[in-house]
């Protein structure tokens, strides 16, 4: 399943936002137990996991953020994903 995703890329050491409202698409999978994993992060149709080192690093950070949010009970996006998956 692919869906739009927006996040802020943050430098946690300096506590500053590097890229606010970074828009992309994420491709995700839902396991039988409800665990959601991110398979790809796309910008303009290109997978960031297949790009240069900076793109791969951003993809990893975005995927980690998305998985954390999507695997948190009570998250509205998680609920929508699980409803779509069940349909």
Q: What is the pLDDT of residues 51-64, one digit of tens each?
A: 999 999 999 999 99
Q: Is the per-residue pLDDT at 85 higher than 90?
A: no
For the chain, list the strands marked E by DSSP: 2-11, 16-30, 36-43, 46-47
Q: d(Cα 56, Cα 86) in Å, to the nearest integer?
A: 31
- Quickly tell me which residue has 């954390």 as its tokens: 68
Pick left, alpha or beta for residue 86 (phi over 0 → left; psi -120 to 50 → alpha; otherwise beta).
alpha
Q: Look up the pTM and report it.
A: 0.89
15-44 per-position pLDDT tens digit: 999 999 999 999 999 999 989 999 999 999
pLDDT surpasses 80 at 82? yes
Give the pLDDT confidence score for residue 86 in this predicted structure.
82
Cα 61 from Cα 64, distance rounded (Å)? 5
């Amino acid at each position: 399943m692919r869906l739009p995703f927006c996040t802020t890329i943050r430098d946690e050491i300096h506590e500053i936002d590097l890229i606010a409202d970074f828009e992309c698409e994420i491709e995700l999978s839902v396991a039988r137990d409800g665990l959601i994993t991110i398979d790809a992060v796309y910008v303009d149709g290109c997978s960031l996991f297949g790009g240069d080192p900076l793109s791969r690093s951003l993809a990893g950070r975005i995927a980690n953020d998305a998985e954390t949010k999507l695997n948190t009970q009570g998250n509205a996006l998680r609920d929508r994903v699980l409803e779509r998956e069940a349909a």
